[in-house]
Amino acid sequence: EYEILKPEVKDGIAVVTISRPKALNALNTRFFEEMDDYIASINNDATIKVLVITGEGKAFVAGADIAEMVNKNQSEGSAFSRLGQATFRSLEKLNIPVIAAINGFALGGGLELTMACDFRTASTKAKFGQPEVNLGLIPGYAGTQRLSRLVGQGDALYLLMTADMIGADDALRIGLVQ
């Protein structure tokens, strides 16, 4: 039983909706546990040919769950970071195409999640950013690495160091979305 993920399958296409709209689908420990389980189930199902990931409401994912992170000490923070890195690595290694269907805010850990997918598609309402620096953090889930590979070092540093949010047109222009 998932609390956060809403999975569906139709004609070999799996669509999983991240559904915690009251917190703009922010990523907490429960999300990573459910996503690990879900990825394993997709891996074991040869009838599924494509996976689409999207978010419910006005956000795709507005980042890691700040309310959960704020109480962590150094070793707990480190474990939370490694947990997300492992989940996103498993997603990246899935042997079917994975598409992020970005319906709204994709910030921080949310943008990192999209970058572990093979393709990113965006609605005109989508907003992208790496605002970790505003919290005194750097991205915890390998976003620094994936972002610079996708868009080049200049635009990656711009997003990481300014925390600016960009819209879908600019994301398309810099090659962040297809």
Contact region with ligand DAK (CB under 6 A), list: 6-14, 46-54, 89-97, 137-145: 137-145
CB 143 within 8 A of CB 67: no
Sign of the four-CA dihedral 34, 9, 114, 117: positive
Nearest distance, CB of residue 11 and ligand DAK, angstroms: 34
Among 7, 57, 77, 167, the residue binding ligand DAK under the rule CB under 6 A is: 77
Q: What does the block give as tokens for 69? A: 């992170």
Give φ, ψ of 163 to 5 degrees.
65, 15
Among 4, 17, 122, 132, the residue binding ligand DAK under the rule CB under 6 A is: 132
Nearest distance, CB of residue 113 and ligand DAK, angstroms: 10
Provide the 10 A C-beta neighbour count for residue 98.
22
Q: Has 132 been annotated as catalytic? A: yes
Among 38, 88, 105, 128, the residue binding ligand DAK under the rule CB under 6 A is: 105
Q: Contact between 137 and ligand DAK (CB under 6 A)?
A: yes
Q: Contact between 160 and ligand DAK (CB under 6 A)?
A: no
Closer to ligand DAK by Cβ: residue 55 or 108 = 108
Q: Contact between 55 and ligand DAK (CB under 6 A)?
A: no
Rounded CA separation 111/40 (Å): 22
Provide the 10 A C-beta neighbour count for residue 58.
14
- Among 178, 136, 120, 129, which residue's Cα sits nearest to residue 158? 129
Tell me which H or E stretch contains 55.
Answer: strand 50-55
Q: Which residue ranges make up the site for ligand DAK (CB under 6 A)? A: 23-24, 26, 62-67, 77, 80-81, 105, 107-109, 131-132, 135, 137, 139-140
Show which residues are catalytic.
112, 132
